[in-house]
Amino acid sequence: MAQIRFRINYVTTWGESLWLDYGASGKDVKQLPLVTTDGSMWTAEIEWGGADIITYAYSVRNADGCIVRAERPATRHFFVGHRSWVLLCDNWTERGIDSVFLHSAFTECVFRHSGIDDLGMQLSSSSYFLLMRATPPPSGFRWGVLGSSPRLGEWKEEKVRNLVRTDVYEWCLPLASEDFAEGVYYKYVLVDENIPSRNIVWEEGGNRCLSPCCLRKGEAAVVSDDAPRMSLALWRGAGVVIPVFSLRSKGSQGIGDFGDLRQFINWAASTGMSTVQLLPVNDTTSSGTWRDSYPYSGISVFALHPIYLDLREWQSSPIYARYAERFTALNALPELDYEAVFEEKMAFLGDLYKMVRPEIDKLAAYNEFCTEHSYWLEPYARFCVKKARAMNFKCNGDEKFYSFVQYLLHNQMAAVHKAARLQRVILKGDIPIGICHDSVPAMVDSHLFHFNGQAGAPPDAFAVHGQNWGFPTYNWEEMSKDDYAWWRRRLNHMNNYFDAYRIDHVLGFFRIWEIPAEQMYGLLGHFRPALPLSVEEIRYNGFEADVARYIQPFVTTDRLAQLEEVSGSGLRCFFVPRADGTFVLKTEYDTQHKIKIAVPEGYLRDILMDVVAEVLFVNDPDIPGYYHPRIAAQQTEVFKTLTLTDQQAFNRLHDNFFYVRHNEFWAENALEKLPVIVNGLTGKEEHSMLPCAEDLGMVPSSVKGVLEKLNILSLEIQRMPKKYGIRFGYLQDNPYLSVTTIATHDMAPLRLWWRENEEQTQAFWHEVLGREGRAPAEATTDVCEQVVAMHFDSPSMFCLLALQDLLAMDERLRSHNPEREQINVPANPNQYWQYRMHLTIEELVAATSFNEKLRALIAKSGRRR
């Protein structure tokens, strides 16, 4: 049992009081009011018989008992250990560690410190010491302290006392009992490790003060401070983005794997990069064909894709020898042959399983894995067996086979994650917004999804018809009943492999674009949730035409004649006339899904698809008689049939509906889900992955505020500015809590983009690069280097660039075929995801001059590991 005294100096206003919340690791929290005799020094005393570590926090409450002010951060920790008497002399913390730095990306990677445990044990046995909480100092510096007492150097810089690191954000200095008995003034300083006595930076503001206090016999005493009052440069890091499937080493088996990833992380660390970002690595095996190359259509949100297993682990086995020649041939291809690689790897795994099956049940680690992960592993294995039999996969294993493969994948990926942490490199994953219709969660947790619609995106410059991803949408109401446990389990599982993650289409947590199951184009979608319009509200806003007329597509006689001129006379047979002289599609062709089945691919089908989209309103799926304006309906032919008054009224309705009406409504929806989801099972930022949003596209104005409130990093792309009315964003305007990049996997890399639009390139040449004359036809190495350097120089916390854009800086390393470097074209529903880096990781490691240039650019920009 320990007796702990709390002492804190804080001046309150009339009616306010200080309170203490304390417990073990934040559990069984008790509240206790502090007392004061002078209105400024507050004290409390407790008996502590709990765990070695006590967690506590101070707050200010008014006369009604409501909290009016709390510290930052919200909790403190102290190791009580063997001590029987403890005095904690605290100072109110206003400049605590920003919560963004509590995520594992920083605590386990960037600011990782291997010597913490030993140092902490040494100092935890001291009776008197000073504790200061701050992020690590800039490279080449140490935290120190100078003060008025002889033990603190009597303000003489040559006698500075260096603090010792005892935790990720904790720094310590032993004191003497006299310091507490007599009191002392002091300040924190930054000390140059190379010239400690001649290059000292003092913290700003007045001296800190430890007021004299009476210590009891045998009582340990600790002074606790927040971060030094210094305006230091904020930490910024650089990194590289590449899908696992795109990696290539000399020993790859036709596709990048987790072994290649480990090598690639080593290269990234050697160039001064702090982060490697991947695309999703979950199993997508639905058909066994190239269509499964789409990494955002997972059949499980937990299982890893067997295609990423590094088979070199069994290179010495006779089984590997049978496949080696085929693997070498597949690895020599310029792009991924998904079907061939998948077939060979699964065949290999089938043979390996047959060889080791008698011993599997004896593996304690395997049995532990199956027990720990049974909640997802068992339904996944059953699903895979069922799918393999239905699709006649050559590898038609039993449930244990699929569990065993996941065990192997887990071991490899967890080992890569551990190695990345040791290198202080953040491994950043990607969490897709959707799930496949034919998938484990759709089978096991069907009540959590809406299957009468398809997730997608409204039209934009990259996809004029919008996007249809084909995923069911989430039933958020049902998910909320258990506090979003499905999402929390999903994120918690990702903690095994990653320390940061990209929230794919974070706008989906505000609202999702949902397309009726019978339609194909994103144009015919609507937002869910939404506040649909009644006929009365539509009319109240000045739209006098009959709404019912404009929810069914039609063409006028003149328009039908125009379409027949380009398609042929056979077009009319798809329509029936109406009494008003217009034409509507026959019942058997009145949805895009029906047209896709009945009409062969070609120009005629495209015309009919477009006709289906000739509406001004779409029905709300839940409330009969309520409607959503069809997005971008001003571009339809039917819009032209309206009177000028109705066109103006529709424009007002449309713009208000999509850009004003829902802003706060969607923000409230997001704030119900995101805080619970992003903090995982812990319920707080500490030790959870760092969330990074993909907030591109049609972004409601309220998104920015929500992301800032939750410390979720935004995504900033210069050629997709979020500020209305400008062509290119100004990189120096990027917020600190953001990720900046030149292009995502859905965009053309810099060299390919440079070729696409001469007028746009010329504007970029003048306005962004500040160059004179005509822009070169190709993005030269110096152009690419300037663009990379500008992004590194931005204030964004992370600058994560595609490998293609980094290699573009070197004439010898850049690809001869930049058109092959775009990973995905969003407008293409049949995209084959098969990009692979054109050189090997070994060649990249050996590219000394390029690596030195990259390292120098990163260092010059102030970004660091």
CATH code at position 799: 3.20.20.80
Average pLDDT over every residue of 711-731? 95
Average pLDDT over every residue of 600-613? 94
393 and 251 part of one domain: yes
Closest CA to 383 of 370, 402, 365: 402
434 and 561 part of one domain: no
81 in any annotated domain: no
533 and 423 part of one domain: no
- Classified as helix, coil or strand, 267 is helix
Average pLDDT over every residue of 397-411? 95
Closest CA to 653 of 631, 638, 637: 631
Question: Which ranges of 53-130 would DSSP assign to H, the alpha helix?
Answer: 104, 116-124
pLDDT of residue 117: 46
pLDDT tens, residue by residue, 652-699: 999 999 999 999 999 999 999 999 888 765 555 556 999 999 999 889
Average pLDDT over every residue of 852-861? 98
* pTM reported for the whole predicted model: 0.93
User: Quick one: pLDDT band at residue 273, thresholds 50, 70, 90?
Assistant: very high
pLDDT, averaged across the chain = 93
Average pLDDT over every residue of 2-30? 89
Range of the domain at 532: 513-663
Domain finish residue from 605, 628, 663: 663
Domain finish residue from 646, 663, 680: 663
Angle at 285 between CA 370 and CA 387, to 5 degrees: 75
Beta-strand ranges (E) seen in 475-574 are 500-503, 512-516, 526-528, 533-534
Query: Measured between alpha carbons, how far is 468 from 615 in angstroms, rounded to an integer?
Result: 18
200 in any annotated domain: no
Closest CA to 716 of 779, 800, 595, 636: 800
Neighbours of 437 (CB within 10 A): 16
Widest CA span of the chain, in angstroms?
104
Query: Measured between alpha carbons, how far is 292 from 294 in angstroms, rounded to an integer?
Result: 5
Question: Is the four-CA dihedral 194, 198, 201, 202 of positive or negative sign?
Answer: positive
Q: Which of 163-177, 321-335, 429-443, 492-506 has the lowest mean pLDDT?
A: 163-177
- Classified as helix, coil or strand, 262 is helix
258 and 378 part of one domain: yes
Query: Measured between alpha carbons, how far is 707 from 675 in angstroms, rounded to an integer?
Result: 10
pLDDT of residue 686: 59
Amino acid at 796: S
pLDDT of residue 853: 98
Which strand (E) or helix (H) includes residue 2? strand 2-9
Query: Measured between alpha carbons, how far is 774 from 818 in angstroms, rounded to an integer?
Result: 22
- Whether 715 shows a pLDDT value over 50: the answer reads yes
User: Quick one: pLDDT band at residue 115, thresholds 50, 70, 90?
Assistant: low
pLDDT of residue 680: 63
Residue 76 dihedral angles phi and psi, to the nearest 5° = -120, 160
Average pLDDT over every residue of 234-258? 98
467 in any annotated domain: no
Closest CA to 649 of 499, 568, 542: 542
DSSP state at residue 588? G
Q: How many structural domains is the chain composed of?
A: 2
423 and 528 part of one domain: no
460 in any annotated domain: no
651 and 539 part of one domain: yes
304 and 423 part of one domain: yes
Beta-strand ranges (E) seen in 134-243 are 141-147, 161-162, 164-167, 170-174, 184-192, 200-202, 208-210, 220-225, 237-241
76 in any annotated domain: no
424 and 565 part of one domain: no
Residue 428 dihedral angles phi and psi, to the nearest 5° = -105, 125
312 in any annotated domain: yes
- Whether 567 shows a pLDDT value over 90: the answer reads no
pLDDT tens, residue by residue, 319-377: 999 999 999 999 999 999 999 999 999 999 999 999 999 999 999 999 999 999 999 99
Contact call for residues 576 and 560 (beta carbons, < 8 A): no
Q: At what angle do helices 374-391 and 364-372 cross, to 10 degrees?
A: 90
Residue 779 dihedral angles phi and psi, to the nearest 5° = -75, 105
- Paired sense of beta strands 85-91 and 220-225, if any: parallel
pLDDT of residue 480: 96
User: End-to-end alpha-carbon separation of the chain, Å?
Assistant: 43
Long-range residue pairs from 751-759, CB within 8 A, at least 24 positions apart, any chain: 751/778, 751/779, 751/784, 751/804, 751/808, 751/814, 751/818, 751/821, 752/818, 752/819, 752/821, 752/822, 753/719, 754/778, 754/779, 754/783, 755/818
**Which residues, 6+ apart, have CB-to-CB distance to 240 below 8 Å?**
268, 273, 275, 276, 277, 800, 801, 802, 803, 806
Share of the chain above pLDDT 70, in %: 97
CA distances from 445 to 33, 240, 387, 486, 791 (A): 47, 35, 18, 9, 42
194 in any annotated domain: no
Half-sphere exposure in the Cβ direction for 249 (13 Å, CA):
20
Domain finish residue from 631, 663, 695: 663
User: Quick one: pLDDT band at residue 807, thresholds 50, 70, 90?
Assistant: very high
Helix-, strand-, coil-residue percentages of the chain, each rounded to 5: 40, 20, 40
Query: Measured between alpha carbons, how far is 521 from 530 in angstroms, rounded to an integer?
Result: 19
- Whether 604 shows a pLDDT value over 50: the answer reads yes
- Whether 101 shows a pLDDT value over 90: the answer reads yes
Q: Exposed, middle or buried by CB within 10 Å (0-12, 13-18, 19+), for 413?
A: buried
pLDDT tens, residue by residue, 770-787: 999 999 999 999 999 999
Residue 655 dihedral angles phi and psi, to the nearest 5° = -70, -40
Average pLDDT over every residue of 831-853? 98
pLDDT tens, residue by residue, 116-174: 544 454 555 678 889 999 999 988 899 999 999 998 999 999 999 999 998 899 999 99
pLDDT tens, residue by residue, 51-74: 888 989 999 999 999 999 988 766
Contact call for residues 18 and 28 (beta carbons, < 8 A): no
712 in any annotated domain: no
Closest CA to 226 of 1, 72, 362: 72
- The tokens for 673 are 């889900």
**Which residues, 6+ apart, have CB-to-CB distance to 766 below 8 Å?**
772
> How far is Cα of residue 305 from the mean position of the Cα atoms in its chain?
20
Between 97 and 142, the higher pLDDT residue: 142
Neighbours of 480 (CB within 10 A): 12
Amino acid at 377: L
